[in-house]
């Protein structure tokens, strides 16, 4: 797959990531929204988990809250780093548009800076909604096409924003919200994210670098997805699974790395 090859090359040069401060603050934010009656039983999925830095932080902060953490990533190079960062997490190599998990399985579904790079962001949004519990929360971080720095780039060069990835998309705060809500997610809140640059607070919120959306599955979305429920069993690449072969033909042609292939 061309996209996987491109991301393997990028992650080989340097794992794509944000700051430790960002992942730690996100972990606290996510865990605070897990319903108390689900503590000890809750499950989290990070779609586009990269090097596993968020998974590491939610495990560190949420040992009493989460029963299990899962990560899905298109790059096997990134998954090798994720295994080092979060050996407790169950990792799968696959596509965000085709998640190999049952409907309504996760209390928290996270997709930070990834949906804009999907081949089909609308399908990806529907999958986030499908695997999220009705009382769960989906967290999506998306880039602004009118980021303050991008405006200066247009003025000086005539070019818009560019994150130098194989697929790049940018939109405004409400354009991203409309995409999510058109694809079975109900947006509860939107927060600006400016990589902790204090002076960015002086600018209008709509010129933030990224927007963090928290959302829940729309009413009726799970019923609409019943026919799409994958009912997949045993394809997670779990460090606790040491015996027995993985399914010979994973759904949708996903390639699942055996634990022995991830140092």
Residue pLDDT, tens place only, 152-208: 888 899 998 998 899 999 999 999 999 999 999 999 999 999 998 888 889 999 999
Pair 146, 203: CB distance under 8 Å: no
- Note down the domain range covering 213: 2-254
Residue 110 lies in a domain: yes
| Neighbour-count burial for 28-67, b at 16+ CB within 10 Å, e otherwise | eebbeebeeebeeebbbbbbbbbbbbbbbbbbebbeebbe
How much is the pTM?
0.84
Q: What percent of the chain has pLDDT over 90?
A: 73
Q: What is the pLDDT of residues 86-97, one digit of tens each?
A: 999 999 999 999
pLDDT, tens digit, 9 for 90 and up, residues 232-260 = 333 333 222 222 222 333 332 233 333 33
Query: Does any domain span residue 263?
Result: no
Kindly state whether residue 260 falls inside one of the protein's structural domains.
Answer: no
Q: Is residue 28, in this structure, part of any structural domain at all?
A: yes
Is 161 inside a domain boundary?
A: yes
Half-sphere exposure of 212 (CA within 13 A, CB side): 15
Strand intervals (E) in the chain = 42-47, 66-73, 90-93, 106-112, 132-143, 185-193, 210-217
* Tally of structural domains, the chain: 1
Residue 95 sits in a domain whose CATH number is 3.40.50.150
Residue 136 lies in a domain: yes
Measure the N-to-C terminal CA separation of the chain; round to a whole number of Å.
23
181 lies in a domain?
Answer: yes
Q: How far is CA 68 from CA 24, 26, 162, 253, in A?
A: 18, 17, 35, 25
259 belongs to a structural domain:
no
């Amino acid at each position: 797959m061309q996209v996987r090859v491109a991301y393997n090359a990028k992650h080989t040069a340097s794992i794509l990531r944000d700051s430790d401060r960002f992942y730690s603050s996100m972990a606290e934010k996510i865990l605070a929204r897990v319903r108390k009656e689900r503590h000890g039983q809750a499950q989290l999925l990070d779609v586009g988990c990269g090097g596993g830095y968020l998974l590491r932080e939610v495990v560190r902060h949420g040992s009493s809250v989460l029963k299990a953490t899962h990560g899905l990533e298109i790059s096997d190079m990134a998954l090798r780093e994720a295994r080092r960062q979060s050996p407790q997490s169950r990792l799968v190599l696959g596509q965000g548009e085709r998640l190999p998990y049952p409907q309504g399985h996760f209390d928290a579904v996270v997709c930070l800076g990834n949906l804009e790079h999907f081949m089909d962001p609308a399908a990806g949004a529907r999958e986030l909604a499908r695997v999220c519990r009705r009382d769960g929360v989906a967290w999506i971080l998306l880039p602004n096409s009118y980021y303050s720095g991008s405006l200066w780039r247009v003025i000086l060069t005539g070019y818009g924003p560019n994150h130098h990835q194989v697929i790049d998309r940018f939109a405004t705060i409400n354009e991203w919200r409309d995409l999510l809500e058109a694809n079975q997610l109900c947006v509860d809140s939107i927060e600006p994210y400016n990589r902790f640059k204090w002076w960015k607070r002086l600018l209008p919120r709509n010129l933030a670098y990224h927007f963090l959306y928290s959302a829940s599955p729309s009413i009726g979305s799970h019923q609409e997805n019943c026919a799409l429920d994958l009912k997949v069993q045993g394809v997670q690449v779990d460090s606790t699974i040491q015996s027995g072969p993985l399914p010979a033909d994973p759904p949708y042609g996903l390639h699942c790395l055996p634990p022995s292939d991830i140092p």
